[in-house]
Structure 1
Amino acid sequence: MSIQNKTAMIRIAKANLKAEKTKNYFVGSVIALAAFLLTVVMTFGYNSFTNLQHESNFQALFYNLNNNEISRLKEIEGINKIGLYKEIGREKKEERLLSILYTDQAMMDLSNANIVLGKFPTKENEIAIEKDFQLSDDRSLGLGDSISLQFRNNASKEFQTSQFVISGILQTTASGNENRIGYNALVSSAFVEADPFLSKEDYSAAISINNSSSYSNEELKSKIKEIGQRMGISERNVQINNVNVDSNNLSGSTVISILSIMLIIALACWLVIYNIFYISITKRIKQYGQLRAIGATKRQIKQLVLYEGKNLSRKYIPIGVIFGCLMSWILSGFHWNAVPSFLLAFLAGLLTKVTVRASLNAPSKFASRISPITAIRHVDADVNTKKEKRNSKRLTPFSLAALNLSRSRKKTVLTLLSLFLSGTLFVSLGTLLNSVDPISKAEKYFPNHGRFDIQINNELYSETTSLSDLQTEGQLSTSLKNKILAINEVEDVIEHQYIEAAIEGIKTDDGAAIVSIENIPTLNNERWSSHLAEGKIPDVDSSDASYILLNSASSDLDYYGAHYAVGDHISFIIANDQEKVKHDFEIIGDITDKNSGTSFYLPPKVMQTVAPFNSNKSYEVITMDKSNEELIKSELEGVILNEDTLKLLSFSEVVESNRIAFRTITISVYSFMVFIAVFSMINLLNTIITTISARKGELGLMQAIGMSRKQLMAMLTYETGFLVVGSFTMALFTGNLMGYMISKSAGNMGGLSYIQYQFPWSAIFLYFLVILLVQTGMVQFVRRSISKQSIIEQLN
């Protein structure tokens, strides 16, 4: 194309843009919205992953290493840095938890922790503590202050009280978080050496791999396991830092999720821009025919349409990118990496430009194929003569509306498709969200319909403190049970027993095959026993330690690739940090309960027999009907006040916590769907506006031959109604069907039985209300558009 011809096409394109300001606003809004969403997804996603990366710089932890193993670890090529630490103990008061540690400087660096004021503790009585930590008397801490801490010594397992002087203020990656309940403090090596138990404890080591970012997700995890194998370290004592590995070396599923979101945004943008330009071109067919008549080539016509898109992209993409960056900055909590974020924002703008260019490809080809003869004969319709003859016998506003929509089938289908897709997405996801039952999820902890559960505090679990170690404390004792039963309005206390055991003879990449064993329910076990597939269930009062009940649907067994049947024999190793025992069983029955993660069941008396410690994990408290739950809760808190390994769960509080969590997810999902729906609304509004504009003369002629304004409004209202209500009906049926299928599939997965299909009345009502408002708005818009011009003005 010569420079003169190119300049002429650009001038025509600019003139078209000036002449069609309404279309430009619609297209510009879509382009800006797409750029905004892509920028937020890319920059917020990057900064979220970066913030996770900065929580730590190590890729794995190796537990229980002696000095010889530490020396050998330092000699391994491929390891960049090794940090050492010991867990000293934990102090728990009310709702806050203080973890007391010893670390070397390398561990501080790998954990992104530092002393921001004062110095690292070196004397036996010195400690560094986080500034945000508050004492029970709300007294703030400062350098030189004395502090008394009562904690359970992690080595001796005994309580001790130690006096410290604060030598430094510690800052961690969690410092400044207002919702924290856990804090950290550091003691000196002198404190460790002075303690006869801690000084003999092995160290744990954090390692940083050289060039870790050059490995894929699976390659890096394999590298860590390989180091553990070379060291002869039990795989149970090797823990991969998944937060660091997965945020630095994205897994395939994470990448697919991000790309899927970006693809949905790009497709929505493509569909709307394609439709708007297609409608615009059909409106200007005569203009393109005239250009072809005076010598314009197909390529020039195509470039004319592409120039319009390019100019709009130049104007609106920067707006979307700027607002996207601002939103990402706010969502990231102002922890925003400017340079990479701006580069990603530029990439988001580039991707939006490519999407716009792709969406213009088909309309530009359509425009280039318009010949002068086609332009002369064009009536903006796909005429069906037989149908028109049939309709002409019974012309009403309703039949005219149907006829008008059928005349431009492609435009109608595209608009319906856009509304249908967003509506289907809204209804299907709304169905899934509505099917999540927070009460059913909470009942997992209260299988006997109790109102409270006193259980071993899982916050105390660590790499050196297992569940069996805490059970050894025996705080869920008969004495405690009797104290609970003595509380007024407490009807019963149900013991829940739980053992973690290793299957003898099975080794995996992660070490021993650890499975769970629970007691057979003593109450309400009819529904539970309905899962029996083969054999029989041992008597709940049995003391015969020869038989065990299998749950072949357990996800743990499937994970380890272990398959057993009734009649098989199996051996377990049950241990804590003090004792290890072995037990052999014959499988007497098999239940298939995929909603339970438990692999095996034993009668309660047998549970106590086979475990070398108290196997109780929790006490479920059954209360009387219409009891005063607040008063009971207060008394239960008093009963366990001095039992440091226990915590109290309330059924109502668990339900409320679930509701809050689900509400947060619901808001996030609906927020994303609203942005997608905006594309469809813009598309619909553009269709209505261009329809009225293109048929201005036709509408004026109808009024001139006797059609009243009321009939004209009715016809146009029916047209918008067909599009809005038609897409609503289709989306309602398809979306609900998809939501039903998704809910059923999810509910049949192990551990997700609390997802049961519920008709989404609230989502449907919300969707109907939005559709009603849109329809009302469209009608008002059409009425004002028609009333602004007289019949003479419309005919001109």
Structure 2
Amino acid sequence: MFRNLNTGIIKRLAVNSLKSDKKRNLFLILTIAFSACLMLTLSLKILGQNTKLNRYLKGRYQTVFTDLSAEKVEELKNRPEVERSGVKVSLGTPRIRDYVLTIEYVDAETASLLTYGELEGSWPETENEIIVESGCLEHLGLPIQTGQTLNMDMGDGVKRDYTVSGVMYTENEARIYRVIVSEAYLNAVTDGNPRYTLNIRLRGTEGDDMETLKGKTLALAEACGLKEQQVFYSSTYFTMGEDLPIEKVMAIAFCCLLIVVATSLVIYSLFYISVVAKTQEYGRLRVIGTTRRQIKKLVRREGLFVSGIAIPVGILLGSLLGFLLEPEGWKWSISIPCMAVIAVLTETAVMISIRTPLKIASSVSPVEAVRINEVSTGGAVRNKERKQRRITPVSLAFLNFGRNRRKAALTLCSLGFTGILLMCAASYLNSVDADAMARAGFGVGCVHIELEQGDNGAQEIDADSATEYYTKMEQDNPLDDEMFRELSQIDGVTDVAVFRGCKSNFIFPRMNDYARENPDTLSFRNIGLSRAQMEKYSDMLLEGTIDYDILVKEHGVLAGDSEKLMYRFYGYQPQLGDVIQVKTDQGTTVELKVMGLVESPHVGIDVPFFYVPDALLPLLKESVDNFNTHYMVEGEPDKEVQIEEAVIDMMEDWDHVEINFLSDIRHQMVKSMEQIKLPLYGLVVFIALFGILNLVNTLLTNVVTRRQEFGILQSVGMSGGQLSAMLKAECFFYVAGTILITLTLGTAAGWTLCRIFDQLGTFGKLVFHFPFVPVFVFAALLLVIQMVFSVWAVRYCGKEPLIQRIKSE
């Protein structure tokens, strides 16, 4: 008996089919390769940055020990567990007119451990030598060079000459500039008794996890007689030291999902168009005995062949780009799994995308297949319209657009998906209010004038404690009625909010050993609220009472510690009914009863734990007449610059005050948003490329497969101009549909996204603003593609004689 041995026939048919449709295959290979390349490049870039950071952190500090004497510093440095260490002493952050100086003493080892930037020059040695940031010299209008003399106020109100021994090159847009002083200067302002902060990294800890490292650090602290409260861990080292941080993996997964969806739409569309065009061919194969299963296998082999070329190319290019973008972050143990995951993900997307075209190819019966053509695949055309109607290029374009509704819908979905993503990204970026974000962090007003707390003038504090220093400032309080009048009279100022208070030492009913052994650390600010302020912030009450009269009568205090900082450092967690002893300036104590637990109102005062009625403040400080601690200047938004300039002009006559401007916070927020815009729009651009590929493929397929149709139309009188108008109209339908989806679904998606972020409150108040410029650019790009396509199509059709086009199949 003879058998038809057709084992390799499907393979040969697939090869022949691929050879006959080279244009489609090229589009598929480009799309799949680009998708794999983009996903892998993105993954390797993000993870490479993290690996680079990890490697960088391996040589940086891990832990900080605070409040150390010189002897204790030497003891720790000489411990065998310590691989590297460096000392630091913060000497204040005074504001000098419109900028802030961060004055500190650090040694060269600390600068390396903390990465202070590239240094030109030498480390300061004499008392009048300093290192400054390059941005500070630029701000002052001075040349960026060493050896020059600066006449500067270092926070004590007196200008002195300092020699620039070194310039530190850093990127600084916040007008907060670091100044590094010499050890001689440090000893002069602290009477030779500074309290150091020591940054260390332990020896042999490269492979340790975070818990093991913390255990070794605490063991070292205990061996040297240090308290746990003196130990702080590097937030950067301990929170960003993982090889695969979950937030970055989630970001990669989200971006890859978007890319896969966009790729799948293009692949689906390309295979669908190809299958519809080859329906008669598949029907003939069915007539000669090819089974549905074999037809499916034929189409599947085409998909496997195309992806078999595209995915390795994409993985190779993606790996190369990933390495070039982050060569210092390349790690084989991360890169190889990434390649494998992206390859599997891309192949899965291809197989899922061709499932429906595959079913279409195998589902048509042989009898139907020999009759079907592309015109009828979108559903039978019902001939119930008028027999006579006017034929125009636009009406012909509309008829062709409706020939295959599924193909048109796929192209519109692909482009519409891009438009929706664009609207979401652009709406979010256009609706984020840098001013609202700044105000959310700044609090009330546009200028804060605060009584100096004692950390900006170490040379004046001497042996006074923080509480005694603050009380001394209030006894000669610069925040007086005259300053209030001057601020109120500034053009544009609408109100000056006044907050009162004092600083006192507390004795808690429950404390840990550290608090008992170090009572001077229990120095806290009491915020004295007026009756009106208590009514205004009554919603901050969590438990108890906030009635002004009751609190005055019963010597009540409101306590707020939602972050449990007091419990962490001092072992005290406020409870209703607790009696807290407060030391007065007369050496006595006053008992205050915790009568309310509150969530601190966000007005711009740093971490206040206790609030009392302002009528109780004289009980705590009999020597103080003026308890004003904060003037918060509120003004007309359009006159904020004038208000800031007026305050800067006045501040030279004010001593012992700290001044903060809303504009500084806003400037930092704007810079942060600028860093977010580029990657977001970059992702949208890459997604848009898939949609444009789909549009171009659809348009090109229409032209190439309809040459005969165009020839027939021109043979009966259609001019080249009419043909061009028809093709322009067909393309315009796609462009108009995409813009319609963008303006409707995209706007709704963008509005919803803004509402969600507004409810979360992460970025302050978000008010939806329509992104006119990005939408205009997107629409203009689509229209340009339309114009270029119509010109190309007419020229393409004109390359062949009319008779040749009529004969072509």
What is the TM-score with the length of structure 2 in the denominator? 0.71
Which residue number corresponds to residue 587 of structure 1?
Answer: 595
1:363-393 per-position Cα deviation (integer Å, ceiling 9, x unaligned): 66778775697664653478576x6337667
CA spacing shift, 1:665–1:416, aligned 2, 3 Å:
same
Deviation at 1:58, TM superposition (A): 1.0
Deviation at 1:59, TM superposition (A): 1.5
Match among 30, 33, 37 for residue 31 of structure 1: 33
Distance 2:382 2:427 in 1: 44
Match among 690, 699, 710 for residue 688 of structure 1: 699
Match among 94, 99, 105 for residue 103 of structure 2: 99
Which residue number corresponds to residue 778 of structure 1?
Answer: 786
Does the CA-based 8 Å contact 1:43-1:345 persist in structure 2?
A: no
RMSD: 6.1
CA spacing shift, 1:506–1:368, aligned 2, 3 Å:
farther
Residue 483 of structure 2 aligns to which amino acid in structure 1?
Answer: K
Match among 267, 273, 276 for residue 279 of structure 1: 273
CA spacing shift, 1:587–1:217, aligned 2, 3 Å:
same
Residue 357 of structure 1 aligns to which amino acid in structure 2?
Answer: E
Match among 329, 347, 365 for residue 357 of structure 1: 347
Does the CA-based 8 Å contact 1:442-1:658 persist in structure 2?
A: yes
Distance 1:97 1:692 in 2: 67
Distance 2:62 2:458 in 1: 16
Does the CA-based 8 Å contact 1:515-1:599 persist in structure 2?
A: yes
CA spacing shift, 1:288–1:733, aligned 2, 3 Å:
same
Q: 1:65 aligned to 2:65? A: no
CA spacing shift, 1:543–1:368, aligned 2, 3 Å:
closer
Does the CA-based 8 Å contact 1:96-1:181 persist in structure 2?
A: yes
1:403-439 per-position Cα deviation (integer Å, ceiling 9, x unaligned): 8667656544433432333333332344434443344
1:68-101 per-position Cα deviation (integer Å, ceiling 9, x unaligned): 8668867989754443444466776553625331
Deviation at 1:57, TM superposition (A): 0.3
Q: 1:414 aligned to 2:416? A: no
Match among 771, 778, 782 for residue 762 of structure 1: 771
CA spacing shift, 1:368–1:666, aligned 2, 3 Å:
closer
Structure 1 counterpart SS, 2:593: strand
Distance 2:65 2:333 in 1: 38
Which residue number corresponds to residue 518 of structure 2?
Answer: none
Distance 1:458 1:276 in 2: 69
Structure 1 counterpart SS, 2:652: coil
Question: Equivalences for 1:189-208 in 2 at 5 Å?
Answer: 197=190, 199-208=192-201
Q: 1:482 aligned to 2:482? A: yes
CA spacing shift, 1:766–1:633, aligned 2, 3 Å:
closer
Deviation at 1:61, TM superposition (A): 0.9
Q: 1:242 aligned to 2:242? A: no
Range moving further from structure 2, 735-744 or 577-586: 577-586
Which residue number corresponds to residue 178 of structure 2?
Answer: 183
Structure 2 counterpart SS, 1:618: strand
Deviation at 1:402, TM superposition (A): 7.9
Does the CA-based 8 Å contact 1:62-1:237 persist in structure 2?
A: yes
CA spacing shift, 1:3–1:315, aligned 2, 3 Å:
farther
CA spacing shift, 1:64–1:556, aligned 2, 3 Å:
closer
Distance 1:687 1:575 in 2: 82
Q: 1:261 aligned to 2:255? A: yes
CA spacing shift, 1:71–1:535, aligned 2, 3 Å:
closer
Q: 1:389 aligned to 2:382? A: yes
Which residue number corresponds to residue 306 of structure 2?
Answer: 308
If you compute each CA radius of gyration, which structure gives the higher value, 1 or 2? 2
CA spacing shift, 1:242–1:493, aligned 2, 3 Å:
same
Structure 1 counterpart SS, 2:754: helix
Distance 2:90 2:63 in 1: 17
Distance 2:645 2:447 in 1: 11
Residue 52 of structure 2 aligns to which amino acid in structure 1?
Answer: T
Match among 415, 422, 426 for residue 422 of structure 2: 426
Distance 1:506 1:381 in 2: 85
Distance 2:775 2:644 in 1: 42
Which residue number corresponds to residue 52 of structure 2?
Answer: 50
Residue 771 of structure 2 aligns to which amino acid in structure 1?
Answer: S
1:246-302 per-position Cα deviation (integer Å, ceiling 9, x unaligned): 333254223322443344334433443443344344434566777897999976764
Does the CA-based 8 Å contact 1:31-1:356 persist in structure 2?
A: no
Match among 430, 433, 438 for residue 437 of structure 1: 433
1:219-258 per-position Cα deviation (integer Å, ceiling 9, x unaligned): 7567656766787744543322122333332542233224
CA spacing shift, 1:48–1:379, aligned 2, 3 Å:
same
Does the CA-based 8 Å contact 2:39-2:259 persist in structure 1?
A: yes
Deviation at 1:588, TM superposition (A): 5.5
Q: 1:747 aligned to 2:786? A: no
CA spacing shift, 1:261–1:639, aligned 2, 3 Å:
same
Does the CA-based 8 Å contact 2:82-2:203 persist in structure 1?
A: yes
Does the CA-based 8 Å contact 1:520-1:603 persist in structure 2?
A: yes
Match among 678, 690, 693 for residue 689 of structure 2: 678
Tell me, which stretches of 5 or more residues in structure 2 are unaligned? 516-520
Structure 2 counterpart SS, 1:379: coil
Distance 2:470 2:28 in 1: 65
Aligned length: 764
Distance 1:228 1:673 in 2: 51
CA spacing shift, 1:197–1:447, aligned 2, 3 Å:
closer
CA spacing shift, 1:495–1:276, aligned 2, 3 Å:
same
Tell me, which stretches of 5 or more residues in structure 1 are unaligned? 153-157, 329-335
Distance 2:198 2:588 in 1: 26
Q: 1:603 aligned to 2:613? A: yes
1:302-331 per-position Cα deviation (integer Å, ceiling 9, x unaligned): 4444333444556677667767777x4xxx
Residue 555 of structure 2 aligns to which amino acid in structure 1?
Answer: S
Does the CA-based 8 Å contact 1:129-1:186 persist in structure 2?
A: yes
Does the CA-based 8 Å contact 1:416-1:723 persist in structure 2?
A: yes
Deviation at 1:793, TM superposition (A): 1.3
1:474-528 per-position Cα deviation (integer Å, ceiling 9, x unaligned): 38934555135246833764323478999947889x9999998755477798875
Which residue number corresponds to residue 333 of structure 1?
Answer: none
Distance 2:65 2:240 in 1: 20
Deviation at 1:63, TM superposition (A): 0.8
Which residue number corresponds to residue 637 of structure 1?
Answer: 648
Does the CA-based 8 Å contact 1:485-1:493 persist in structure 2?
A: no
Deviation at 1:698, TM superposition (A): 5.5
Deviation at 1:127, TM superposition (A): 5.3
Distance 2:178 2:753 in 1: 41
Residue 689 of structure 2 aligns to which amino acid in structure 1?
Answer: V
Percent sequence identity is 19
Which residue number corresponds to residue 805 of structure 2?
Answer: 793
Distance 1:676 1:647 in 2: 49
